[in-house]
Every structure is written in C-alpha cells, then in structure tokens.
Structure 1
Amino acid sequence: MTDVPADPAAPPQRTAVTGDKRRRGRRGRRGEQAVVPDAEFTSYYGKPVLNKPTWSARDIAGYLFLGGLAGASSVLAAGADLTGRPALAKGCKTGALVAITGSLVALVHDLGRPARFLHMLRVVKPSSPMSIGSWVLVAYGPQAGLSAVTALTGRFTGLGRAATVGAALVGPAVAAYTAALISDTAVPTWHEGHRQMPFVFVGSAASAAGGLGMVVAPVAQAGPARRAALLGAAVELTATEVMKRRMGLPVETLRTGRAGALMKAATALTAAGALLGGLAGRRSRTAAVVGGLASLAGSACTRFGIFHAGVASAEDPKYVVVPQRERVAGAS
C-alpha cells in the first residue's frame, strides 16, 4: 500500500495521549511546573468586596477606649465608696466623667454634627447595637457627671451617692456594648471575633480602670484598683488568645502590619502593667503609677489594634471570600 501524502491545507493532526494524564493538584507531578497558578482574590474592576470603614481611627478607636475606661471606672468608684476609699473614689469618678465626655466628643465628631446623635434617640431598636448603645450613653452620662461633680464639690452627697450607684449599674453595659457594635458588621476581623470580643473589651476596660485607680490613689487605698488591673489583664489576654485561635483566616490582620504591632504592644503593656502595678505597686508608689500608665496604654493599643485590623480585613477580598467558602463547605 502506498502512503497518501498529507494535504498541506488540512489542519494539523493531533496526537492522542494515552495513559492517565489527569492533573494531580495545583503543582502537578513532582518536578513539574505548576499548571494552574495560585488563586488571587480579586474583584470586579479591582474594587474591594466590602467598602472599608470610613471612620477615623482617632475618633472611633478613641471612642471605644474611652467608653470602656469610663464604664469600668464607675464600677470601681462605687466599690471604693462602699469600702471607705475616698481618694480612689474621687479619682475614678472624675476619670469616668472625663473619659465619657471625650468618648462622646469623639463620636459626635465622627458623625459630623450633634444632631445626628440626637436623631438616634427618636426610636428604640433592640436589634441595633447603635440604637441601644445610644440609650445606654444617655442613661450613663448624666449619672457619671453628677457623681463626679458632687464628689469634687462636696455638696449634695446623698444625691451623688445615688448617682454613683446608678452609673456603676450602667457602667458594664457602657464597657461592653461597643464590642457588639463593631462585631455586628460585615467587617471580617470584627465579625469573626464576635464571640470573644465582649470579653476582650470588658477585660481591657477593667485593666484600664485599674490603671487609672493606681495612678490617682495612694498605695494604701489602691487595693481594688490593683486587683482590677490583674483580673482585667487576665481576662483580656486570655480572651484575645482564644479569639485568635478561633477566628480563622482573618486572624492574620491581628498579627501583621500596623494592627499586629499595636496588638503586640497591647499584650506587653497590659501584662507589664498588671505585674508591675498589681504586684510591685503594693509597696511602691512609683511602681503603681508606672504600672497604671502601662495598663492604660495597653488598653488603648488593644482598641486601636482591633480597629486597624478590621480596616485591613475589609480591604483584602480573601478575608471575605475564604471564610464564606469554608462556611458553605461546612454546611454541605
């Protein structure tokens, strides 16, 4: 049989491949170059999946820190009143008033004008942390102010004592509600940490209030402040570690960049403040003051670190896409 010459106009012949040549994973067989590149999480037109928070770090992270400090300080002030520690009580009442005033100023500055805060008081919406938080602030602020003014002036002490108790009852809600406020969002880092975030914030607030108490009160009266700093640090550091282990991929934002540096500083300062002020501060006024300032700085770093981590997680699509895929896979 003679060979038939190939038609030059015909399409090139394709050689059949025998055997199982299916791709095995992204990297192929050993020694082979990757066939499929690693996935890159992008979005249409290069836009992020989520609009990142437009809040100012100075306003909102400051609002989170100062609100927690105020609420916990009112609780500490009431305890100091009941146990006969006037210097600690007066210092914490004054600190609570200054802190809640600064917190409200930061919030209103971020909102743009005071009327926007007042508009939130037109309704009560139990499903909205912002609505409930607004009413919590309205219930807390006047009582904290009255408690501090009566302590500083020495007048109307009975009314001041009632206001001190009232502020102490609302104080824990002031310290905790901001955790629900930021967790009830689509921002990955904040949302993924919603179970432990209230414990982180309350522990951080107690640590800050303890630090304030150690700064403003003499050693002989600062026992409750030292214990608050120790207990608050233990709760905050433990809850933060548990949160990091359970929140999945977005935890990267708490360990890298500006947020990572702030969280590392928060851990070091909080632990140092508790140990130096809570232990060495029993005998040394200098140690108490230095430890108290470290506790305050550590609490502030925690709030600013969590804020910046949330912004970073909203900017990168992978922190939105990967957790969603994992939840879908787990449900199927």
Structure 2
Amino acid sequence: MVPPAEFTSYYGRPVVKPSPWEIDIPAYMFAGGLAAGSSLLAAGADLTGRPALRRSARLGALGALGFSFAALVHDLGRPARFLNMLRTAKLTSPMSVGTWILMAYGPFAGTAAAAEATALLPARWRRGPVRLLAALGRPAGLVAAVTAPPVAAYTAVLLADTATPSWHEAYRELPFVFTASAAAAAGGLGMVSAPVAQAGPARRLALGGALVEQLAERQMERSMGITAEPLHQGKAGRLMRAARVLTLGGAAGSLLAGRSRVAAVASGVALLAGSLCTRLGVFEAGQQSARDPRYTVVPQRERVDRGEPVRAEA
C-alpha cells in the first residue's frame, strides 16, 4: 500500500511566498471602503435634504480617505513611491488602476468636505472664493459618489489578482464582500455621527450592507473549496468569527437605532469594528494559505482532474 501523500515542499519552503504586506494594507482597504461608502451616503443625504447626515458623511469620507492614504504611503516606505506610481497607467495592474481610481475620487471627496467646512466660518467671510467653494459642494459630492464604488471594490481585485491561494480563489465574490462591508461600515459611521432623526438612510445602508456581506461571504466560502479552510482556522478564524458577530449584532441593533441614540452609537461602532475585522481576517487567511503548500497543490490537482489548464504560480 502506498501511504497517503504528504503535502510538503522543497526544503519545507512554501510553494507561494506569503505577501510582504503588513497590517497597513488591510487598514488601507478598510479606510478606503469606509470613505467610498460615506461618499455614497453623503450624496443621498444631500439629495433628500438631510444636512447633518450629509455633513458627517462628507467629513467622515475625507477623514477615512486621509487615513487610507497615510496607511498606503507608510507601507510603501516614503511618499515619493506613491507619486512614482502616477507616472504610468497600466490597465493590467490592479495597483496602477487603483491608484488612478483614488486620484479620480479623492479631489472631489475633498472638495465636498471642504464645502461643509465653509459653514463653520463667520458670515462675513462667506463671500468670493469661499462662496464658490460652498456652491461646489453638491456637484463635487455627486461626482465622488459616482467614483466611490470602484474605490470600495478594487482592493478585492488587488488581492484576488495575486497567486495567494485563499485570495485568488475568492475572486468571484470577494469584491461583493468588500463593497457590502464598506456599505455597512459607512452606515455605521453615519449612525454614530448623525442625529437619530436624520440617520434613517444610514441605518438602511448598514442593514442592507451587513446582510449582503454575510450572504456573499457564505457563497465565497462555498466556491473557494479547500482554500476556504484558513478562514476558519487560527488568527484568521478568530477575526472572521468576530466580524460575523459584530456585523450581525450591529445590523440587529440598527433596527432599534431609530428610537435610541445609545443603540445607534453602539450598533454603529459594532458595524465599523466588524468591517475592519473582515479585512483583517481575509488578509490573514491569505497569508496562512500561502505558508501551507496544500492550498496550492490541491487546487492545481483538481484543475488537472477537470482537464483545465494549470496556471503558473508566481
């Protein structure tokens, strides 16, 4: 009898190298998604006459975007490296496309937030350029909302385009997971920062985003096959379980948040924390899958058994 094969690699080295990225990258992904969702929420609040929700969402989008840029630059090592990425545009590179998506979105999100800041100035200063800036708030906010969905989704494409097993095999559903998670986080921030009377759209966005995220994640795990295992093991498993509890708890709390400020804040914080844990869990699961050769070898053998071409792992 031939003993069962053991999934080992040459000198015990991984078949695929784990990503050199640190925690800066999942933080960058979370903050970028939060900014994108907040811009969408702000545009809806603007069009439906909810100035307090619009203001909190626009300022939240700018704060999250600034944090996202800071995390990205910190991971790159120095700001010049980010500027060097703007020297070319490569459609086959998710990082290059994502950089240009951020550059298309950022100025409009910043202008919309700056327009909100003009309301804090004394009346005698609200003339000339300041009045023009205030007038640009709505059109800038609408453009930011149009460019926001790619900001929330492209980071999932960035992960799935790698050879890391648990990221690559999630390529079908991961953009939906990240986008829905961004919506839940943005709704949570709106519940925390806006008055209860105006936060109705934030509550609905949070509830819808949380439910879609859970459904997309279930489908993602079914389609990933064996590479879904790291999502339930070790540090990644703990993070994903925490994300599920926090997100579902926040979604349930949003049903009561229309009557209680305390419930609104607690639910919003839970949704924000759940969205962050989702990014951290997916990130850690990919790192774990790269360290174990089984998650590279088994899917390759399955593709060979189905008669599919085996791609070269990088």
Q: Which amino acid aligns with 1:114?
A: P
* Aligned match of 2:52: 87
Q: Which amino acid aligns with 1:282?
A: G
Provide runs of 4+ in structure 1 moved above 3 Å.
Answer: none
Could you tell me how far 1:51 is from its partner in structure 2? 0.9
Higher helix share: 2
* Aligned match of 2:298: 322
CA contact (8 A) 2:231 2:282 kept: yes
Q: Deviations over 1:64-93 (max 9, x none)?
A: 100000001000001101111111111111
* Residue 75 (structure 1) aligned to one of 36, 40, 45: 40
C-alpha separation in 1, matches of 2:259 and 2:134: 32
Task: Among all aligned residue pairs of Structure 1 and Structure 2, give the percentage whose two residues are the same amino acid.
Answer: 60
Does residue 220 of the first structure (1) align with residue 185 of the second (2)? Answer: no
* Aligned match of 2:66: 101
* Aligned match of 1:264: 241
* Residue 120 (structure 1) aligned to one of 85, 101, 106: 85
C-alpha separation in 2, matches of 1:301 and 1:216: 21
C-alpha separation in 1, matches of 2:257 and 2:221: 31
Q: Which amino acid aligns with 1:41?
A: F
Could you tell me how far 1:38 is from its partner in structure 2? 2.7
Q: Which amino acid aligns with 1:295?
A: L
* Residue 181 (structure 1) aligned to one of 149, 158, 165: 158
Which ranges of structure 1 fall in alignment gaps of 5 or more residues? 1-34
C-alpha separation in 1, matches of 2:5 and 2:34: 44
Secondary structure, aligned partner of 1:164 = helix
C-alpha separation in 2, matches of 1:71 and 1:56: 23
Could you tell me how far 1:119 is from its partner in structure 2? 1.4
* TM-score, structure 1 as length reference: 0.88
* Aligned match of 2:144: 167
Could you tell me how far 1:126 is from its partner in structure 2? 1.3
Secondary structure, aligned partner of 1:194 = coil
Could you tell me how far 1:159 is from its partner in structure 2? 1.1
C-alpha separation in 2, matches of 1:331 and 1:266: 37
C-alpha separation in 2, matches of 1:40 and 1:70: 45
1:1-332 correspondence to structure 2 within 5 Å: 35-57=1-23, 59-154=24-119, 155=130, 156-277=133-254, 279-331=255-307
Q: Which amino acid aligns with 1:179?
A: A
Q: Deviations over 1:172-191 (max 9, x none)?
A: 11101101011001000000
For the aligned residue pairs, the C-alpha RMSD in angstroms reads 1.0
C-alpha separation in 1, matches of 2:248 and 2:216: 14
C-alpha separation in 2, matches of 1:305 and 1:43: 26
C-alpha separation in 2, matches of 1:312 and 1:238: 24
Q: Which amino acid aligns with 1:331?
A: G
Could you tell me how far 1:125 is from its partner in structure 2? 1.3
* TM-score, structure 2 as length reference: 0.92
CA contact (8 A) 2:245 2:274 kept: yes
C-alpha separation in 2, matches of 1:93 and 1:165: 11
Could you tell me how far 1:149 is from its partner in structure 2? 1.4
The worse-fitting range, judged by mean Cα deviation, of 77-86 and 151-160 is 151-160
Aligned length: 296
C-alpha separation in 2, matches of 1:95 and 1:331: 50
CA contact (8 A) 2:105 2:148 kept: yes
